[in-house]
Amino acid sequence: MPTPFPQRQPGPSIWTSRAKPKPNTLNSDWRCTRCDKLLGVCRDGRMHLRFAGGHEYLVGFPVQATCRGCQTLNQAAGPRVR
């Protein structure tokens, strides 16, 4: 008996595949300083933010964002966070 709901894998996402380090990546994760939740990804000198509902933002530095997990206000002054 086939399963009525075939499991569909969503497209490859940088937000869920955290165990795949790319060797020559220019992207760097921007994580919450408190709970380490992923807030955005720095790419090409800008911060790529994604929010629930499919809204995506590409913003320049400095950037501030509130963590959805712990409500901590995080700030990134430049592409190199750490």
Can you give the binding site for Zn ion, defined by CB under 5 A? Answer: 32, 34-35, 37, 67, 69-70, 72
67 torsion bin: left (phi>0), alpha (psi -120 to 50), beta (else): beta
Q: How far is the CB of 61 from Zn ion (least distance, A)?
A: 20
Quick one: tokens of 8? Answer: 């569909």
Residue 46 pairs in a beta bridge with 43
Q: How far is the CB of 38 from Zn ion (least distance, A)?
A: 10
Q: Map tokens 């921007």 to a residue.
A: 30
Q: How far is the CB of 74 from Zn ion (least distance, A)?
A: 7
Q: Which CB sits closer to Zn ion, 1 or 52?
A: 52
